[in-house]
Amino acid sequence: MIIIKTDKEIEKMRRAGEHLARLLDVVLPQIIKQGNNAEQVEEFVLQFIDEIGGTPTFKGYNGYPYATNVSVNEEVIHGFPTKDKIFKNGDIVSVDCGITLDGYIADSARTYYVGEISESEKKLINTTYEALLVGVEKAIIGNRIGDISNAIQKYVEDKGFSVIRDFVGHGVGRKLHEDPQVPNFGKEGKGPKLRKNMTLAIEPMVSMGDFNVQILEDGWTTITEDKSKAAHFEYTIVVTEEGPEILSGSPNLKP
């Protein structure tokens, strides 16, 4: 069942999203540096969320043991933020995080890079972020979920990359994963119709190779099957009469 939020509920999600955007766009870029490690990201995030009076949404969710996903290179999503994951020159690092504040959730992800990366890798990151924006633009009243999905898929594939198909975006609110699912591939005009005050987490995951993935023995970390590098961006948004409003993004963000 798709849960339509009240204006008061959206305001709570907006506050959570503003904090999450500051964390991902201002705080973490200072930490994801050569020689630092993923455990430091986790520690900073836990401290940040505690200071704002929030709760780390991911920690304990379906048994997940951390507040963050820190996924490096061929890791697409759900990478563990461990001390032995040391950032080195040329790494592509995706961080996914959720904050629960006053009972409501914002969910968001960014991809960073360490030191120098190739032009094709920069294109991967830029394409993933741009695909997110293309998808968000389709989140207008009267459109359907498939319009978001198709726009993301077309944009990514036209740039020569692949959208991951085994994992999708989703509704979000009091729960981390609500209806509807928001795939990053599909046909225009298909799926649930978008209505005012629907809240969605739109999150393209994009690979330099093909879209097949595998889950490692830890039961969480998901990598590209062909070991190609991947990127991941995500915004929590709300559908409004004026168009989509991004609840977890910073103004003029550039990847």
Cβ within 8 Å of residue 180, ≥6 positions away:
2, 145, 170, 171, 191, 192, 200
CB-count burial class (<10 Å; 0-12, 13-18, 19+) for 210: middle
188: annotated binding-site residue?
no
203: annotated binding-site residue?
yes
CB-count burial class (<10 Å; 0-12, 13-18, 19+) for 122: middle
The amino acid sitting at 255 is: P
Supply the Cα-derived Rg of the chain in whole angstroms: 17
177: annotated binding-site residue?
yes
DSSP 196-235: TT-EEEE--EEESS-S-EEE-TTSS-EEETT---EEE-BE
19: annotated binding-site residue?
no
Check: CB of residue 111 under 8 Å from CB of residue 232: yes
Q: Kindly compute the dihedral angle of the four CA atoms of residues 85, 88, 93, 95, in this order, to the nearest 10 degrees.
A: 50
- What is the total residue count of the chain? 255
Q: Determine the Cα–Cα distance for residues 225 and 139; give it in Å rounded to an integer.
A: 31
Q: Which two tokens stand for residue 253?
A: 């963000």
* Phi, psi values for residue 8, rounded to 5°: -65, -40
Binding residues: 78, 96, 107, 170, 177, 203, 234
Binding residues for a divalent metal cation: 96, 107, 170, 203, 234
Binding residues for substrate: 78, 177
